[in-house]
Amino acid sequence: MFRNDHELPSFGRLEEKLHADVAVIGGGMAGLLTAFSLKNAGLRVVLLEENKLAGSVTARTTARISAQHGLFCERLIRDFGEHLARQYVSAQLHAVTQYRKLADALGVGYSVTEATSNVYTATNGPSLEGEYISALRLGAKAELRAVDGLPFPVREALCFPSQAKLEPLAFLAALLPSLTVYEHTPVRDVRAHVVICDSGVVEAEHIVVATRYPILERWGLYRLRLRQEQAFLLALSGAQRIDGWYLDADTRGWSLQQHGSELILGGGLHRCGTPCGDAFERLREQARLWFPEARETRIWSSQDCVTLDRVPYIGRYSAATPYLHVATGFGRWGMTNSMVAATLLTVEILGNHYPYADVFSPDRFFPSASIEAMVEGALYAVRGKAKRLYAAFECEASRIASGHAAIIRHHGRQYGVYRDEKGMLYAVSPFCPHRGCALEWNGAEKTWDCPCHGSRFDYTGRRLFHPAGTALKTLYEREI
């Protein structure tokens, strides 16, 4: 959680009608970099942000600027073929270089520091030899090596040297002086070339949707092609230092990363809305085991969209809307992929050719890489809807203990009810306002989470993450 380190300036809301070459919707890393790139190309750009700039997932990132995205090279060659796999890796390697150059040009070279990326395998885990050979085939300068210096033994690690670590808010602050930005301006709809907000509109030749989860549901069927995954992070001071970062080759494993004087421990990756138990407590236990002398400084979680084949959708929003563009599905690799999005979309909007565009095309469909995830998504949707009918009522509201929640029935209707530490009850509709799936209680964070597409709400019903467009309906204590 990097909000504490730097603050970005504030901007007013849109309250007029504007004309622009491009309207960019969403002020996270993807939207800001894309707006900056388009502006640098000489276009008139307006950026519209629902809340505060970089206040959503970009504020919670671990900000590794890395061309190594877990175990991915063998998978890419198998699913996409060598030509497209090479495009993906080339685009990521290029993005790492672009960050360095841009930070230097903006006078914030200190916001990008060199670091080494490692993917490790447990002592009883599989060899990384195949991934190593594939990485070399795709043009990465990878090294396979033995590792010591971690608080646990590992079999080996695949290393990408010369990657980087970003201070996101320091870097983003340097992009802002040249941009036209409106905050607290949620986009409600897009009608042809007109972007509609509550008290203003922007008419633009092109529109970029960089809202992480695409907000326009009329086109592209993104809700059938995206899921959201959540992970948990804990920052420690006084822990032994490590060089760069280490990710477990098994995505359910642990990650370790040096961030300045702090060590960040990560884990608990799961599909949003599926049970994760007390993920924060598991992180703390692991931290106590490996770093008994260290002190916890922060703990937080975050989530990101993942596509069916785990490669982002960057390009035309749909075949029917050539003026609409999208950047989504970064799969927890949104730093380099935001840079790819900025470059690709600028080239596309200027009518030129981006050499690595094909692998990111939102139109693609590779059955062998996508069917399993598609079926899984459909099953969650069916189960989420069916649960409306057969949901078990766990207890009476009066029997819910402090700090706990349950589904109850009241006057023939279902409610998700949470009792806080002072005994106050908060009752909300347990159905997602997006497409009506039954919500699941997440005890670790005291949120109601949707297993269908990953919307999340706090116990008062406030929406925390899209795609749901509204808060949950609420019913207060006195009415129960």
Question: Which residues of the chain form contacts with ligand FAD (CB under 6 A)?
Answer: 25-31, 48-51, 55-58, 61-64, 186-187, 210-212, 215, 231, 233, 302-304, 330, 332-336, 338, 466
**Between 61 and 447, whose beta carbon lies closer to ligand FAD?**
61
175 binds, among ligand FAD, ligand FES, none (CB under 5 to 8 A by kind): none
Q: How many CA atoms lie within 13 A of 90 on its CB side?
A: 16
What is the C-alpha to C-alpha distance for residues 35 and 180, in angstroms, rounded to an integer? 9
Q: Is 230 in the site for ligand FES (CB under 6 A)?
A: no
CB 170 within 8 A of CB 108: yes
* Closest CB 51 distance from ligand FAD, rounded Å: 5
Q: Which two tokens stand for residue 397?
A: 């509201």
CB of 175 to ligand FAD, least distance (A): 13
Nearest to 414 by CA among 401, 432, 402, 399: 432
Binders of ligand FES among 421-460, rule CB under 6 A? 432, 434-435, 437, 450, 452-455
Beta-ladder partners of 46? 23
Choosing among ligand FAD, ligand FES, none, which partner's interface includes residue 312 (Cβ < 5 to 8 Å by kind)?
none
Tell me the one-letter amino acid at 467: P
Chosen from ligand FAD, ligand FES, none, partner binding at 39 (C-beta under 5 to 8 Å by type):
none
127 binds, among ligand FES, ligand FAD, none (CB under 5 to 8 A by kind): none
Which CA distances in Å does 307 have to 124, 212, 217, 304, 369? 30, 12, 16, 10, 10
329 contact choice in ligand FES, ligand FAD, none (CB below 5 to 8 Å, kind-dependent): none
Smallest separation, CB 338 to ligand FAD (Å): 6
* 334 contact choice in ligand FAD, ligand FES, none (CB below 5 to 8 Å, kind-dependent): ligand FAD
Nearest to 303 by CA among 151, 90, 454: 454
Question: What does each C-alpha distance from 130 to 74, 126, 143, 408 come to in angstroms?
Answer: 7, 10, 12, 52
Q: Are 208 and 345 within 8 A, CB to CB?
A: yes
Please, which residue, 139 or 186, has the CB nearer to ligand FAD? 186
**What does 455 interact with, of ligand FAD, ligand FES, none (CB < 5 to 8 A by kind)?**
ligand FES
In one-letter notation, the amino acid at residue 246 is: Y
Pairwise CA distance, residues 325 & 318, whole Å: 8
- The distance of closest approach from Cβ of residue 345 to ligand FAD in the complex, given in angstroms and rounded to an integer, is 12
Phi, psi values for residue 280, rounded to 5° = -65, -40
Q: How many CA atoms lie within 13 Å of 88's alpha carbon, on the beta-carbon side?
A: 28
How far apart are the C-alpha atoms of 440 and 447, rounded to whole Å? Answer: 8
Which entry of ligand FAD, ligand FES, none binds 467, CB below 5 to 8 A by partner kind? ligand FES
Q: How far is the CB of 61 from ligand FAD (least distance, A)?
A: 3
Q: Which does 55 bind (CB under 5 to 8 A by kind): ligand FES, ligand FAD, none?
A: ligand FAD
Long-range pairs for 431-437: beta carbons < 8 A, 24 or more residues apart:
431/388, 432/384, 432/468, 433/468, 433/469, 433/470, 433/471, 433/472, 433/473, 434/223, 434/467, 434/468, 434/469, 435/223, 435/381, 435/385, 436/384, 436/385, 436/388, 437/380, 437/381, 437/384, 437/385, 437/387
Q: Residues 313-332: x/- map of binding to ligand FES (CB under 6 A)?
A: --------------------
Neighbour count for residue 97 (Cβ, 10 Å): 14
416 near ligand FES, judged by CB under 6 A:
no
User: For the window 275-294, what string marks contact with ligand FES as x by the rule CB under 6 A?
Assistant: --------------------
Looking at 26-154, list the stretches that DSSP marks H as alpha helix, in order from N- to C-terminal side. 29-40, 73-80, 82-105, 129-137
Task: Quote the distance between the C-alpha of residue 283 and its chain's center.
Answer: 20
435: partner contacted, choices ligand FAD, ligand FES, none (Cβ within 5-8 A by kind): ligand FES
How far apart are alpha carbons 95 and 335 in whole angstroms? 9
Q: Answer yes or no: are the C-beta atoms of 296 and 305 closer than 8 Å.
A: no
Least separation in angstroms between residue 301's CB and ligand FAD is 7
**CB nearer ligand FAD, residue 339 or residue 408:** 339
**Cβ 361 to ligand FES, closest distance in Å?**
25
Whichever of 331 and 384 has its CB closer to ligand FAD, that residue is 331
Nearer to ligand FES, 60 or 466 (CB): 466
> Does 305 engage in binding with ligand FES (CB under 6 A)?
no
> What is the closest distance, in whole angstroms, from the C-beta atom of residue 468 to ligand FES in the complex?
5
In whole angstroms, what is the distance from residue 268 CA to residue 278 CA? 9
Residue 475 Cβ, how far from ligand FAD at the closest point, in Å? Answer: 27
Q: Which residues contact 367 (CB under 8 A, 6 or more apart)?
A: none
To ligand FES, the closest distance from the beta carbon of 403 in angstroms equals 25
Residue with Cβ nearer ligand FAD (195 or 427):
195
Of 32 and 438, which CB lies nearer to ligand FAD in the complex structure?
32
The residues that touch ligand FES, with contacts defined as CB under 6 A, are 432, 434-435, 437, 450, 452-455, 467-468
